């Protein structure tokens, strides 16, 4: 009976329908870790691509890499839009507009995407403004970690680095976007916490699955509407407050001819608007919002996962030691040069392999964001009509045993050839940044930020297990997930032990993180 009810509501022909319930469909079956649920259904029903129903809305779930590559890579123009969600687009984004990644296809999306892609191109990322921002922000993190101990020779207490990583991403974003330098451990501590908390809540309103009111319209009516909409309006107001604050501070700096503001992304937007008049005021706000929110949780959680892997076993310890020596070897055994090169160059293949493996194995956005078909498509016997919502099961694709041996095992070596060089994309790749026309425009910035901070942490510290076993990392992403209904995987808190390295030149690095003057290169 369930199947016949769904079939009468659905215009998707030839697809396997997952059994559900009248009116609500599969809603209550997919609330907790939906990505894992879909993987389990692949095994149970022997179908890699199938149709579920959220309310009466049919949604196509694509789990296998083969089908994902066919749909996302070979038909990018027919899958280049996003569904407009009641909660996120009409409530949360009513003032500032949606982020670029959540904007439906159209002229506005193309303008915003084109501008941000130019700002985050490889050429732009190599300019002094971007390099300086990453350099200052990574120094700030290391400096704050060093202050946790009265002496660099005293072991640190067990610590969680998640907030440090989130603040690192936030400081980079605000510095690049507005030219404003936040003191996230000092006077701007409360503001930073507020932004992190607000954006964490708002990203969950982007979830197509856990926000019932988006696909069960009855919940938008009184008395249900107040319950579902009040929280969204609260977080919208919180976001509006700090976005307006940054805009005001930016304008003050610009009036005072502050060089930091003049080199910022927002200054470039205003210049483009005055010269070419291509971006509206709301589109400018959308770009700034994208810079703040895009990697705040995702990059922070991924960096935290890497450090957790380093701390969880002897193998993790050997991995960080190997990385430390490779960084020195690439810099003539000069630790100051290695420190500087970690921002100026991205040429350590092992560091890149560790980052790529973390992006694959952790898959911080396990289900990705929904796509909307703008043209019909046929996949085998399945006919997907226009205006159909599709999900890429990123976690499933990143753990496909046909492409990755021991897919649940954290193994950076799978990204390296026999000579230790990074393999090309044709040999191995992941879909954490998406695929096709909607692939993340900030992937190269994210890689640079992670690379620089990872290298500098390894150059400065030994990372070990926590002294208290209750803070050990849970390596299974789904078991560790504190919020199974959330868009991102939000792992349980774990802590690590840090011990500063003892070798020639490190005292200068410690000084470097606490002063303005850069030490001169000194042989190791």
513 is in an annotated binding site: no
What integer pLDDT is reported at residue 491 of this predicted model?
94
Structure tokens at 177: 């976007």
Q: Is the pLDDT reported for residue 349 higher than 80?
A: yes
Q: Is the pLDDT reported for residue 524 higher than 90?
A: no
Residues with Cβ within 8 Å of residue 36, at least 6 apart in sequence: 366, 395, 478
Q: How far is CA 239 from CA 88, 176, 199, 288, 482, in A?
A: 13, 19, 8, 12, 24
The residue ranges of every structural domain in the chain are 2-512
pLDDT digits (tens, 9 = 90+) for 183-233: 999 999 999 999 999 999 888 777 778 777 777 777 766 655 666 677 778
User: Is residue 259 classed exposed, middle or buried when 0-12, 13-18 and 19+ CB atoms within 10 A define those classes?
Assistant: exposed
The per-residue b/e assignment along 91-114, b for 16 or more CB within 10 angstroms, e otherwise, is: bbbeebbbbbbbbebeebbebbbe
DSSP 8-state assignment for residue 105: S
| pLDDT confidence tier of residue 26, bands split at 50, 70 and 90 | very high
What integer pLDDT is reported at residue 247 of this predicted model?
94
Residue labelled with tokens 């992403």: 477
Which has the higher per-residue pLDDT, 134 or 228? 134
Mean pLDDT of 510-524: 49
- Cα separation of 269 and 116, whole Å? 10
What integer pLDDT is reported at residue 486 of this predicted model?
84
User: Does the N-terminal peptide bond of residue 223 adopt cis geometry, omega within 30 degrees of 0?
Assistant: yes
| pLDDT confidence tier of residue 273, bands split at 50, 70 and 90 | low
Q: How far is CA 132 from CA 119, 170, 337, in A?
A: 15, 15, 16
Q: Strands, E, within 246-373: which ranges?
A: 371-372
Of 66-80, 210-224, 472-486, the least confident? 210-224
Q: Is the pLDDT reported for residue 516 higher than 60?
A: no
What integer pLDDT is reported at residue 279 of this predicted model?
87
Task: Provide the 3-class DSSP secondary structure of residue 421.
Answer: coil
Mean pLDDT of 333-340: 94
Q: Is the pLDDT reported for residue 150 higher than 60?
A: no
Closest CA relative to residue 69, chosen from 402, 406, 422, 407: 402
What integer pLDDT is reported at residue 518 of this predicted model?
43
Mean pLDDT of 51-75: 93
Mean pLDDT of 164-171: 97
Structure tokens at 349: 């293949």
Q: Is the pLDDT reported for residue 4 higher than 60?
A: no
| pLDDT confidence tier of residue 289, bands split at 50, 70 and 90 | very high
Q: Is the pLDDT reported for residue 326 higher than 50?
A: yes
Q: What percentage of the chain exceeds 90 in pLDDT?
A: 63
User: Is residue 190 classed exposed, middle or buried when 0-12, 13-18 and 19+ CB atoms within 10 A define those classes?
Assistant: exposed
Q: What percentage of the chain exceeds 70 in pLDDT?
A: 89
User: Which residues, in sequence order, are bridge partners of residue 384?
Assistant: 377
User: Which residues, in sequence order, are bridge partners of residue 372?
Assistant: 81, 389
pLDDT digits (tens, 9 = 90+) for 6-16: 333 456 888 89
DSSP 8-state assignment for residue 471: G
Mean pLDDT of 382-393: 93
Q: Give yes or no for a contact between 482 and 162, defined as CB atoms under 8 angstroms apart.
A: no
Q: Is the pLDDT reported for residue 520 higher than 60?
A: no
Q: Is the pLDDT reported for residue 274 higher than 60?
A: no
Domain 2-512 classification at class level: mainly alpha
């Amino acid at each position: 009976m369930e199947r016949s009810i769904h079939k009468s509501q659905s215009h998707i022909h030839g697809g396997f329908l997952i059994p559900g319930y009248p009116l609500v469909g599969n809603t209550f079956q997919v609330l907790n870790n939906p990505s894992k649920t879909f993987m389990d259904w692949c095994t149970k029903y022997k179908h890699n691509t199938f149709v579920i129903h959220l309310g009466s809305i049919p949604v196509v779930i694509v789990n296998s890499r083969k089908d994902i590559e066919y749909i996302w890579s070979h038909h990018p123009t027919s899958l280049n839009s996003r569904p407009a969600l009641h909660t996120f687009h009409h409530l949360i984004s009513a003032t500032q507009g949606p982020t670029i990644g959540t904007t439906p296809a159209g002229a506005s999306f193309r303008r915003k995407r084109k501008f941000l892609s130019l700002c985050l191109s490889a050429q732009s990322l190599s300019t002094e403004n971007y390099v300086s921002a990453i350099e200052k922000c990574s120094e700030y993190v290391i400096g704050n970690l060093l202050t946790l101990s009265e002496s660099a020779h005293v072991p640190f207490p067990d610590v969680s680095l998640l907030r440090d990583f989130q603040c690192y991403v936030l400081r980079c974003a605000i510095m690049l976007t507005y030219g404003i330098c936040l003191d996230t451990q000092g006077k701007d501590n409360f503001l930073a916490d507020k932004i992190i908390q607000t954006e964490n809540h708002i990203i969950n309103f982007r979830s197509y699955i856990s926000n019932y009111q988006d696909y069960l319209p009855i919940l938008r009516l009184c008395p249900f509407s107040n319950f579902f909409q009040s929280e969204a309006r609260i977080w919208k107001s919180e976001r509006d407050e700090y976005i307006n604050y940054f805009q005001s501070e930016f304008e003050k700096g610009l009036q005072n001819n502050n060089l930091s503001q003049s080199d910022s992304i927002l200054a470039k937007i205003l210049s483009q608007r005055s010269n070419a008049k291509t971006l509206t005021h709301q589109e400018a706000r959308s770009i700034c919002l994208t810079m703040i929110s895009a990697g705040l949780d995702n990059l922070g959680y991924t960096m935290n996962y890497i450090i957790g892997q380093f701390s969880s076993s002897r193998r993790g310890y050997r991995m960080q030691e190997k990385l430390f020596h490779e960084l020195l070897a690439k810099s003539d055994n000069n630790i100051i040069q290695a420190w500087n090169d970690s921002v100026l160059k991205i040429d350590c293949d092992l560091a890149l392999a560790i980052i790529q493996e973390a992006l694959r194995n952790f898959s911080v956005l396990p289900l990705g964001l929904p796509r909307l078909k703008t043209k019909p498509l046929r996949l085998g016997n399945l006919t997907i009509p226009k205006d159909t919502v599709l999900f890429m099961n990123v976690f499933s694709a990143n753990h496909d045993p046909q492409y990755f041996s021991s897919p649940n095992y954290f193994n950076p070596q799978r990204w390296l050839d026999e000579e230790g060089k990074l393999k090309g994309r044709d040999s191995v790749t992941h879909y954490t940044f998406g695929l096709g026309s909607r692939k993340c425009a900030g992937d190269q910035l994210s890689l640079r930020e992670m690379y620089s901070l990872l290298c500098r942490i390894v150059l400065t510290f030994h990372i070990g297990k926590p002294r208290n076993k209750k803070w050990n990392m849970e390596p299974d992403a789904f078991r560790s997930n504190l919020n199974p209904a959330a868009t991102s995987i939000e792992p349980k808190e774990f802590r690590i032990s840090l011990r500063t390295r003892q070798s020639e030149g490190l005292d200068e690095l410690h000084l470097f993180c606490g002063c303005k003057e850069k030490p001169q290169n000194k042989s190791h």
